[in-house]
Structures are given as structure tokens and as C-alpha cells.
Amino acid sequence: MNRSLEKLLLLCLLLLLPSAGTFAQETEVVYWGAARDEQGKLLYKEKHITNYVDGRIKESLTLYQDPAGREIATMESNYDRSLAMPTYVFKDYLRDYEEGLRFRDGDYYIFNTEGKKGENEKRLKDASNVFSCQGWHYYVVENLERLERGEVFKIRLIFPNKLRAYEFKIEKVDSEGDLVRVKVKFANWLVSWFVPQLDLLYSKKDRKLIEYQGVSNIFDENDDLQEVRITYSDDVPTD
């Protein structure tokens, strides 16, 4: 598989990551992610802000910052219609790129735009078993015990850069005590052979993501994909 196609297939994966666990009594929850390379160098920070109304998630905002605190990307998600399929907009300021999912006149539309090339948009014809943005994360959180017992989930994830949905498999890697590690990979065995999987560590007790390892949606200085390890906590990341 050539590098450009791999970019297209993997670009959306990290957009599908979390905005928090369940906090029935909270109106706003803020936490941080620290993305590092394999040597432990801080590459960028994520500030996650999630708003709840009557215990139900309403919207979330993720601010991506470089190590100096400069904003390099944002993602705004709205869950009014669906927890599984939030509408959202991801903006990458470094690449002058936007993508996401919108709802209009009874249908979902996938879109993307890059620089001055204009917007591409396509109606989602079949929304069955489809998840967008962080929606699949909440599905995993709600079903950690099933995954721990060995069940394998097959779901379809939206890729705005390709204006379509792809089928993925989610399954347990291992578990110990309160922690469950799962992997996410393309269901197509040929594609999964060439494309790296995502590894995620969850806490059953807190119902939240502890660690992520895999490809990043923030490209490196060469405008290429980069592998990261992201840890999540309440503290602002430091070098």
C-alpha cells in the first residue's frame, strides 16, 4: 500500500478518540492528553472540554496545542442527535484542512476541504451500525465487560477524507484488574496487514481511556503521519 493511501485511510482514526467517561453530576469536565514519540519527547498537547446536561453529554471541544501552547488544531462535536454519531468539525490549521460530519434535511453528510481546493461533500446513504468521531469510544466504554469476555465488535467508522465508512474490528488484547486493553483495526484482512492497528487502554472503574498508541491525526513537520503514545490525565502536560 502506498504512503499516500495509507495517509488517507488512517487520517481519521485519532479523531475517533474520547472526550471523557461518564460524569452524571458534572456540567463541564476538562482533562488533558500528552502525545509523545517513542523517545518520550512531547509532540503536542490535547485539552479536552466536555459539557453535560442532566448527566448526558451534549458537546465537546478538543484543543490541540504544540509544546509551547500554540493552538494548531481544534475539534468541535455535538451529540444532540446521537451519542454514536455526533456531528463534528475538525480543523487543522497547519495544513489548512477541515473535515467532519453534518446533518441536514434528514440526512447525514460527510465533508472535507483542503486549502483553496473547495469542499467535497457526500450524503451517507446507509447509517446502520455507523459511528462518527468519538461515538465509537462511548460504545467501547459501555461494553468493556463484553470485550473482556472475548466478544469481537464489528462496526463502521466514518472517514471524512474518503467520504465513506469503513468496517473495523474491536477486540480485547488483554486485561488485568481494572484495566482492559483493546485493539482497533480494519476488518479487511488485506488492509489490516498493511495499516497499523490502534492500541487503547481503558479503566473499567472510571469508564475512561488511560492510554492510546497508534497513528496521530496531527501530521509531523514533513506533512507525514507520525506514531504517538498519548496518556490522559487531569494535569497539564509538561516536557
Q: DSSP of 176-234, one letter per residue? A: ETTEEEEEEEESSHHHHHHSPPEEEEEETTTTEEEEEEEE-SS--TTS---EEEEEEES
pLDDT tens digit sequence for 140-178: 999 999 999 999 999 999 999 999 999 999 999 999 999
Confidence of residue 55 (pLDDT cuts 50, 70, 90): confident
Whether residue 23 has pLDDT greater than 50? no
Mean pLDDT of the 49-76 span = 95
Instruction: Specify the pLDDT at position 44.
Output: 97
Q: Which of 53-67, 158-172, 183-197 has the lowest mean pLDDT?
A: 183-197
Q: Given CA atoms 90, 54, 138, 50 in this order, what sign does their dihedral have?
A: positive
Whether residue 5 has pLDDT greater than 70? no
Cα angle 120, 19, 112 (rounded to 5 degrees) comes to 5
Mean pLDDT of the 219-237 span = 91
pTM of the model: 0.86
Mean pLDDT of the 211-229 span = 90
